[in-house]
């Protein structure tokens, strides 16, 4: 009897462990639907926009509320994107581990999750910030899901240019949460991210050219040669850096931002030119170095935007 009781206890413990692992995997699968890395990058620019709007440290509760709402908004857009693009994701090695491809989450579950997150983000921002930020959340989700994912992504090599506008909305949401309006510095910050997005994403399309081609996605790296893509990356990198300098007069930025923006901008441009130089020599170059370098550029620039208004000089 004692041995039987021990076996029953061990069986129950094993069943509990399996259930815990299953629950943990399900939670992780739903989190992955939100595209956490993309979300993190978007939230990185929200706080600097709020500090710049306040010209100091905003109310910490307001910052937290805006980040929560922004995370839900970006997560909703990401989940909708995974649901809509699940057919393409099955054809690409880069996305083979997404939960709708592996079957860890049902299509219906993903769609429901996307809608719930989207509604919650709008309601949360409306209740904790203001109606302008909430309306911008709606616009961001609509732009990413409808304009980019449904209309442009499968049909135009310009997809990432105009579709990238969705990634610029966190700046506007952060600014509006503080001021209840949108001023010129917010729009210039918006422009910086708009111009940065192609220079950031096109090197990735070069690296995963075969994946996108197999899925029938007309990314620039698929429909154009390396030289053309490399030249476009240079042009957008230069435009990004120039637009970052517009913040100096528009937002009365100090010397820390001014010098820092020139240094980090120079790094970004050098990396873009290196990629193009490899392309004109018929070499693949290091597109992922430019991809990761662009993330470093935007991160450092965002830190400079956040720090400069806090300095006493």
Mean pLDDT over residues 158-168, rounded?
A: 86
* Residue 198 main-chain phi, psi, to 5 deg: -60, -40
What domains can you pick out in the chain, each with its CATH number? 35-182 (1.10.357.140), 183-313 (1.20.120.1780)
Q: Classify the phi-psi angles of 253: left when phi > 0, otherwise alpha if psi is within -120 to 50, otherwise beta.
A: beta
Query: pLDDT digit string (tens) for 4-59?
Result: 555 555 454 444 544 555 778 888 999 999 988 877 877 889 999 999 999 999 99
Nearest CA among 159, 134, 132 for reference residue 147: 159
Instruction: Check residues 128 and 220 and name the one with the higher pLDDT.
Output: 128
Using pLDDT thresholds of 50, 70 and 90, give the confidence band for residue 211.
confident
pLDDT of residue 223: 86
Over residues 225-278, the pLDDT tens digits come to 889 999 999 999 999 999 999 999 999 999 999 999 999 999 999 999 999 998
State the average pLDDT over residues 1-6.
55
Query: What value does the mean pLDDT take over residues 279-296?
Result: 89
pLDDT tens digits for range 173-198: 999 999 999 999 999 999 999 999 99
> Does residue 218 contact residue 159 with C-beta atoms inside 8 Å?
yes
Evaluate whether 94 touches 208 at the Cβ level (below 8 Å): yes
| pLDDT at residue 17 in the model | 46
Q: How far apart are CA 215 and CA 94, in angstroms?
A: 11
Residue with tokens 């209740």: 127
State the pLDDT at residue 290. 93
The whole-angstrom separation of Cα 162 and Cα 220 is 13
In the prediction, which pLDDT does 284 show?
Answer: 77
pLDDT tens-digit readout, 107-160: 999 999 999 999 999 999 999 999 999 999 999 999 999 999 999 888 888 888
Compute the distance between CA of residue 288 and CA of residue 281 in angstroms, rounded to an integer: 18
pLDDT at residue 89 is higher than 90: no
Task: Note whether 219 and 205 are within 8 A (CB).
Answer: yes
Stated pTM of the model: 0.88
């Amino acid at each position: 009897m004692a041995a039987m009781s021990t076996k029953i206890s061990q069986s129950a413990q094993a069943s509990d462990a399996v259930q815990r692992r299953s629950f943990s995997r399900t939670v992780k699968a739903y989190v992955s639907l939100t595209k956490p890395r993309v979300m993190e990058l978007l939230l990185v620019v929200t706080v600097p926009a709020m500090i710049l709007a306040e010209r100091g440290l905003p109310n910490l509760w307001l910052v937290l509320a805006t980040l929560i709402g922004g995370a839900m908004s970006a997560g909703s857009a990401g989940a909708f994107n995974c649901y809509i693009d699940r057919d393409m994701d099955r054809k690409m090695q880069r996305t083979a581990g997404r939960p709708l491809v592996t079957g860890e989450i049902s299509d219906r579950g993903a769609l429901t999750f996307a809608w719930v997150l989207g509604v919650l983000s709008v309601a949360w921002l409306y209740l904790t910030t203001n109606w302008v930020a909430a309306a911008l959340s709606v616009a961001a989700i609509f732009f990413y899901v409808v304009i980019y994912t449904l209309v442009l992504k499968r049909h135009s090599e310009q997809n990432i240019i105009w579709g990238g506008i969705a990634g610029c909305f966190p700046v506007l949401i952060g600014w509006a949460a503080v001021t209840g309006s949108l001023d010129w510095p917010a729009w210039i910050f918006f422009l910086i991210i708009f111009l940065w997005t192609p220079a950031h994403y096109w090197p990735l399309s070069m690296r995963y050219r075969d994946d996108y081609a197999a899925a029938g996605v007309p990314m620039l790296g698929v429909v154009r040669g390396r030289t053309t893509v490399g030249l476009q990356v240079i042009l957008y990198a230069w435009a990004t850096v120039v637009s970052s300098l517009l913040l100096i007069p528009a937002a009365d930025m100090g010397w820390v931002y001014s010098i820092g923006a020139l240094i980090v901008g120079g790094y970004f441009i050098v990396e873009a030119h290196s990629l193009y130089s490899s392309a004109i020599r018929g070499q693949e170059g290091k597109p992922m170095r430019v991809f990761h370098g662009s993330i470093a550029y935007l991160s450092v620039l965002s830190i400079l935007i956040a720090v400069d208004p806090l300095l006493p000089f």
